[in-house]
Amino acid sequence: MKFRRTKVICTIGPKSDSKNQILKLARAGMNIARLNMSHGEHKWYESVIKNINTVNKRYGFNIAIMLDTKGPEIRTGDLPDPVKVKKGQMLTLTVCGAVNLAPNTIWINYDHFVKDVRVGDKILIDNGLLKLRVIKKTSTEVGCECLNNYVITSRRHVNLPKISLKLPAITKKDWKDISFAIKNEVNFIALSFVRRAKDIEQVKAYLIKKKVNISVIAKIESHESIPKIEQIIKASDGVLIARGDLGAELPYYEVPVLQREIINICNEMNKPVIVATHILESMIQHSAPTRAEVSDLSQAVFQRADATMLSGETAIGGYPVESVKTMVNVINRIEEEIYKEDMVILHDTSSEKEEMAEAASVMATNLKIKAILVFTHTGRLALLVSRCRPNSSIFAFSRTEGIDKKLQLAFGVYPFHYTAPDNSEKKIMKAFQILRKKHFLKKGDKVIVISDIRITGDKCVQSIQVREI
């Protein structure tokens, strides 16, 4: 059986929230379902989580759930009618509220907006589709020159490139949504607009206090995060490269370079990395992608990202299932090209587990071994094998609740939660039985097993074994 290594994340929305649609997405290749907390109420999210859990239980899937916080966004206010502006026209941005606005005036929902911007600064509205230059300021208003024609509608996103903001790292809404994530036992929290490692550490400390094991993913979408990127990655359990806002805050030509750099750092630090935003954007309205989108997706796969993510394509688009199938087809073709040659990516090692993971990966590749079986309590050993990007499939078995879902984000890893006796040989035989039953392996296949072996009493040693099914 052919195994896809790069994982697929799908955003759930009105076009994909039913049990039937979630099942179709799972069959098409979805590994993780993303809940975007910028839209919808908790009651709706609860129904989606219930549907995902039903599909997992009824049909034998292992779909993990990622909750994506709204974060401290700056947006324009509600408008009774769209505001049409022309290049060279003056537009006023105010912090005084959205009621009884003067003509050509728009409310901004950030109280420190006037204090933070300076004359000469550029302001971007709606992900940069409208560009403004600050001409003058009062205590409550900012007068801007429009640098292009545009039609402004309600609640458009505002970016302030090169400006250090006084926004809170985590809003009151975010904390409510994090509590919702704990209550509903989601597997990942993607923290929006992370600017420093402290933002991640604050949430992780709260989760530890609540005695829950939820991975915290740092969303990289602010220019302020880039100088501190290594510290942020080190503090996090993984990274999501949100290229839309990042491309609005930085020159667009910097985004591909940063994407490659961030992926490389994550691989070296053994942290899963997700590439997101606009990957198959045209499939919101069309049944096939553009060739440029296919090339963009291909680059993420060539760069060995752990996962690629669909947003509007599966949340609100007209072709959610087709979008997943398209993504899977592209991933499969590029991985086929990558793995024409035997390869293992080696890293500097500083622990026995790192050495074991690399040794097992090298052995599997040199001996043309079909699969590597990893028995893990925390998932770390499976991630270390994944980091080597071996040709072989990686099957991870854990008796710890929730580890199977968290490993859904790891490149090339197929995780299982299982119950088995402490006896080393019996648990290996149980794993073989599971893999044969699912037709992942067959009798006579050779595998490498990384497992502990009990030698006396409670004393165990780690072992790498070549076994035959």
Gyration radius from the chain CA atoms: 24
Rama region for 188: left / alpha / beta (φ>0; ψ in -120 to 50; rest): beta
Q: Spell out the long-range contacts of 139-143 with Cβ–Cβ below 8 A and sequence spacing 24 or more.
A: 139/114, 140/94, 140/95, 140/96, 140/114, 141/92, 141/93, 141/94, 141/95, 141/96, 141/105, 141/114, 142/92, 142/93, 142/94, 142/113, 142/114, 142/117, 143/90, 143/91, 143/92
Query: One of 4, 7, 15, 34 is an active-site residue; which one?
Result: 34
Which residues pair with residue 11 across a beta bridge?
34
**Known catalytic residue: 34?**
yes
**Rounded distance between C-alpha atoms, residue 416 and residue 395, angstroms:** 8
User: In angstroms, how far is the first alpha carbon of the chain from the final one?
Assistant: 15
Query: One of 6, 69, 94, 277 is an active-site residue; which one?
Result: 277
Residues 14 and 40: beta-carbon distance below 8 Å: no
**Known catalytic residue: 389?**
no
Residues 259 and 241: beta-carbon distance below 8 Å: yes
Q: DSSP characters for 124-156?
A: EETTTTEEEEEEEE-SSEEEEEESS-EEE-TT-
Nearest to 72 by CA among 157, 158, 159, 168: 168
Query: One of 5, 156, 219, 243 is an active-site residue; which one?
Result: 219
**Rounded distance between C-alpha atoms, residue 321 and residue 76, angstroms:** 33
Rama region for 347: left / alpha / beta (φ>0; ψ in -120 to 50; rest): beta
**Known catalytic residue: 198?**
no
**Known catalytic residue: 219?**
yes
The encoded tokens of residue 103 equal 């003509």
The encoded tokens of residue 432 equal 């073989």
Nearest to 412 by CA among 371, 353, 446: 371
Q: Which residues are catalytic?
A: 34, 75, 219, 277
